[in-house]
Structure 1
């Protein structure tokens, strides 16, 4: 007998259930009662599977049906197959209910410091079986992966998507941008501080392909100023905050980021033209998975709590 014979469609799932039931209950009659089938139907099905396999699976004795050597081997595999099918059913149910699963979030600078950790914590309290994967990159780098389904959503400052078909954006809250420096930065001692004064210090700016970088560059141009010559380009919140805290570097950070580090504080120089809408970008034509829908719900809830709306 070749193993391929078991994959030609003749062997049915009911055969596995029936053989396991006979082994469990020790007789055709009790197996039939357990399966709510007529005894002749069970006997006929047992003959079918023995014919397919070409061996005898059970022998009759004074104590009922006893598996043969072949029967013991087949019952072991039948039980394993049935157990895997039960687990598959449980997993599918869990996925459909959002009890288990994976949600992958592409994150930008805004939202990654306060909103996202709070939303993840709330989600994990409610559904500990869901795995959350967070991947940081620029918006342009995230879009192809979002469209391909490698990530479920992008959280951060909403970038223009006029030329990006198949995307939809959901606004969560509005947030100003602040120029920040370490608490003891020498620029804080300057009277009547201006943007031009800050060109004397090193800066950390977002990468060129980000919307915030474009707005900051426009701000310098509108004031007739060049970009800082002493410059680091970075979008990692941790790296930016560490550089600002440990050096004289100046950075433009979302207000929530700026207000969550006691050693970093906004400079007395407002950036009124530079505001941002923080939200999620999701595929327009592909529905969110149950896990991703739950993540989005928690992002909305936490955003409302943060803004008091």
Structure 2
């Protein structure tokens, strides 16, 4: 016999915020700090929830908690409901101020340092009333948030999904792995360098995600460049200074240094091998259209990407001229 829980009458928003925070933090103590309540108060809210649902929501572990099947189910619904309320709040703001609104952008690390600064600068100049929420992460971390409506879109490298996942992927540009050096570096003295000429110079390499790191290692292997004695850093500022001040060269997605390339203080060293394709662009949900603020951001991103392409820093794909609606990227023209 089905149990009547009367969730529409008994569940409150603070219940949803509580379970979402506990699942995210995997700790009642940490979740209490995040949502600004005491641990006893959050524990009481959790007991109320379990009483309403007549289900245990979390298993207590030596360190923290783990959601049960019911807890995971409730957290997924909570994220969708809270995201819809945030979207409603933003839509009401847009009614009050048609030039305003907020766009929530998920970004992969390379895009965060490459195309986003220029796109957001353009957005602020053209639409000063639009607010921006940025969340940086890996694709597998951002996709659930896109599905739940917590973010409006994802900008960055388009990795091929293992199976169709219901998202639209639209390639806009290429993020080739390139060799970078200062504009007056000796490597530019002659014609395109041979691999043995590149091996004369020490490397400074970025500390990046596993996927990007593997792609960098692939190019290093193809060129027989030895990364062992190289400098590695997660600080783009440090890498920039080393490139500008020394004869070090770097191997990375070239748009990580888009600003310096546009200013002409760094240059791309011609690769003596074909660079593996690395399409990048937008990931969008199929089941909801972009709000006006999101559409305005996409327009500014397209314009900035077009400018980068005109300056010869990246190959621009045909998808910047026509909208794509595909779970996959391999059928797209990757420039």
Q: Aligning the two structures, in what range does the TM-score lie when normalised by the shorter sequence?
A: 0.5 to 0.7
1:219 and 1:91 map into 2 onto residues whose CA distance is 46
1:203 partnered with 2:204: yes
Contact 2:177 2:215 in 1 (8 A): no
Choose which of 297, 300, 303 in structure 1 pairs with 2:302.
Answer: 300
Residue in structure 1 matched with residue 269 of structure 2 by the alignment = 267
Match in the other structure for 2:244: 245
**For the Cα contact (< 8 Å) 2:105–2:152, is it kept in 1?**
yes
Across the aligned residues of Structure 1 and Structure 2, the Cα RMSD in angstroms comes to 3.8
Unpaired stretches in structure 1, ≥5 consecutive residues: 1-87
Q: Tell me which residue corresponds to 1:179.
A: 179
Tell me, yes or no, if the aligned pair for 2:233 and 2:239 is still in contact at 8 Å: no
User: Which of these two proteins has the greater Rg computed from alpha carbons?
Assistant: 1
Tell me how far 1:176 sits from its aligned partner.
Answer: 4.1
* Secondary structure at the counterpart of residue 210 of structure 2: coil
Q: Secondary structure at the match of 1:302?
A: helix
Cα offset for 1:160?
2.1
Q: Per-residue CA shift, 1:62-106, capped at 9, x if unaligned?
A: xxxxxxxxxxxxxxxxxxxxxxxxxx9997162598532211223
Counterpart Cα distance in 2 of 1:228 and 1:196: 17
Give the whole-Å Cα distance in 2 for the aligned partners of 1:231 and 1:150: 37
TM superposition shift of 1:279? 0.8
- Residue 281 of structure 1: aligned partner: 283
SS of the residue corresponding to residue 259 of structure 1 reads helix
- Write out per-residue CA displacement over residues 23-78 of structure 1, whole angstroms, 9 at most, x where no aligned residue: xxxxxxxxxxxxxxxxxxxxxxxxxxxxxxxxxxxxxxxxxxxxxxxxxxxxxxxx
SS of alignment partner, residue 218 of structure 1: helix
Aligned length in residues = 220
8 Å CA contact 1:103–1:132 kept in 2: the answer is yes
1-side partners of 2:177 and 2:89: how far apart?
Answer: 48
- Aligned mates of 2:95, 2:240 — CA distance in 1: 38
Q: Distance in 1 between matches of 2:278 and 2:178?
A: 11
Does the Cα contact within 8 Å between 2:254 and 2:268 map onto a contact in 1? no
CA distance in 2, matches of 1:281, 1:272: 27
Report the Cα offset of residue 138 of structure 1: 4.1
SS at match of 2:278: strand
Counterpart Cα distance in 1 of 2:183 and 2:89 = 57
Cα shift readout 1:144-175 (whole Å, capped 9, x = no counterpart): 44344333222223222334724321122335
d(CA) in 1 for partners of 2:148 and 2:91?
A: 24
Distance 2:306 2:192 in 1: 36
Report the CA distance shift for 1:284/1:213 in structure 2 as closer, same or farther (over 3 A): farther
TM-score (normalised: structure 2): 0.52
Q: Decide whether the 8 Å contact of 2:175 with 2:278 is kept in 1.
A: yes
Tell me which protein shows more strand as a share of its residues.
Answer: 1
Gaps of 5+ in 2: 1-87, 311-320, 322-335
